[in-house]
């Protein structure tokens, strides 16, 4: 069965530092992969998605993620953190092409230190 | 466009009470879904719909009912609230059932005493 693991329920970085949020998945077939962001007191919004095109996916707000099949990973990065990046980030994976098949990670709360 | 709207934002219920969480979207999306979000866990799918008159169960459907009489509205009913249903509930919609961007409402925080 497919699963998603996000390493670290909380990640703290200084403003201007590299952001790295980890996501590993288990899947028997090439998956669809997503990162969503949830700002305080708001619903989730899509950051980026991988659907078997380029392995390096660029998203909104300067974020990008790289699909590494050999490592079954889809880590999210941003070169320089901004205070406005403080939010909770969710990784999601699906083996099928339907939204109801999505399996969600537990989320990582990103804390930005001034 | 208002996007996906949810009401109420916050609700307190007593065990055994029933209530309906409202969800509406104005984007003419076919696919709508309800999730619950609990601390330390990912979103879990409760019910989903692929169009008016068509609904199906997700991962955690017990204790919840849904209906889809129009494209715009997808209410979630709690039949007899239990403390285990204390959670944050999100409604989401997308243009189709296929792996499309889902648009989420702001959520309803429910506390069952």
Structure confidence by residue, pLDDT tens digits, B66-104: 999 999 999 999 999 999 999 999 999 999 888 778 999
The alpha carbon of residue A16 is apart from the nearest alpha carbon of chain B, in Å, by: 28
Percent above pLDDT 70 for chain B = 100
From chain B, the residues in CB contact with A105 under 8 A are: 42
Which of B99, B101, B103 has the highest number of chain A CBs within 10 A, making it the mutation to test binding with A?
B99
Say whether residue A106 is in contact with chain B using an 8 A CB cutoff: yes
Look at strands A103-104 and B87-94 and give their pairing: unpaired
Dist. CA A3–CA B9, nearest whole Å: 31
Query: Which token pair is B82?
Result: 């239990």
Average pLDDT of the segment spanning B17-45: 94
For residue B97, the model assigns a pLDDT of 83
CB-count exposure of residue A44 (10 Å: 0-12, 13-18, 19+): buried
Contact criterion met (CB below 8 Å) for A90 and A102: no
Tokens 């700002």 map to which residue? A39
Dist. CA A99–CA A34, nearest whole Å: 11
- pLDDT classification of B39: cutoffs 50, 70, 90: confident
Asked whether the predicted pLDDT for residue A105 surpasses 80, the reply is yes
Cβ <8 Å between A100 and B94 = no
Average pLDDT of the segment spanning B17-24: 97
From chain A, the residues in CB contact with B99 under 8 A are: 32, 49, 51, 94, 97-99
Average pLDDT of the segment spanning B44-61: 96
pLDDT digits (tens, 9 = 90+) for A56-81: 999 999 999 999 988 999 999 999 99
Q: Which of A43, A99, A104 sits opposite B105 (nearest CB)?
A: A43
Of A88, A96, A59, A86, nearest to A74 by C-alpha is A59
Dist. CA B4–CA A27, nearest whole Å: 31
Cβ <8 Å between B42 and A106 = yes
Say whether residue B100 is in contact with chain A using an 8 A CB cutoff: yes
Say whether residue A107 is in contact with chain B using an 8 A CB cutoff: yes
């Amino acid at each position: 069965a497919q699963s998603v693991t996000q390493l670290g329920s909380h990640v703290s970085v200084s403003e201007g530092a590299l952001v790295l949020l980890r996501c590993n998945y288990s899947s028997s077939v090439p998956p669809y992969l997503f990162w969503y962001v949830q700002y305080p007191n708001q619903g989730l919004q899509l950051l980026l998605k991988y659907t078997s095109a380029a392995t390096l996916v660029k998203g909104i707000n300067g974020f990008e993620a790289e699909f590494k099949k050999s490592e079954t990973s889809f880590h999210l990065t941003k070169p320089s953190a901004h205070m406005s990046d403080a939010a909770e980030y969710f990784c999601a994976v699906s083996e099928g092409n339907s939204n109801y098949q999505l399996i969600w990670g537990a989320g990582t709360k990103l804390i930005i230190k001034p | 466009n208002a996007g996906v709207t949810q009401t109420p934002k916050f609700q307190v219920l007593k065990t055994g009470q029933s209530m309906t969480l409202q969800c509406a979207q104005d984007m003419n999306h076919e696919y709508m879904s309800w999730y619950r979000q609990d601390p330390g866990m990912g979103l879990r799918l409760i019910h989903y719909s692929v169009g008016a008159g068509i609904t199906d169960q997700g991962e955690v459907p017990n204790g919840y009912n849904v209906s889809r009489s129009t494209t715009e509205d997808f209410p979630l009913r709690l039949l007899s609230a239990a403390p285990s249903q204390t959670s944050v509930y999100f409604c989401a919609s997308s243009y189709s059932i296929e792996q499309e961007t889902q648009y989420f409402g702001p959520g309803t925080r429910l506390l069952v005493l």
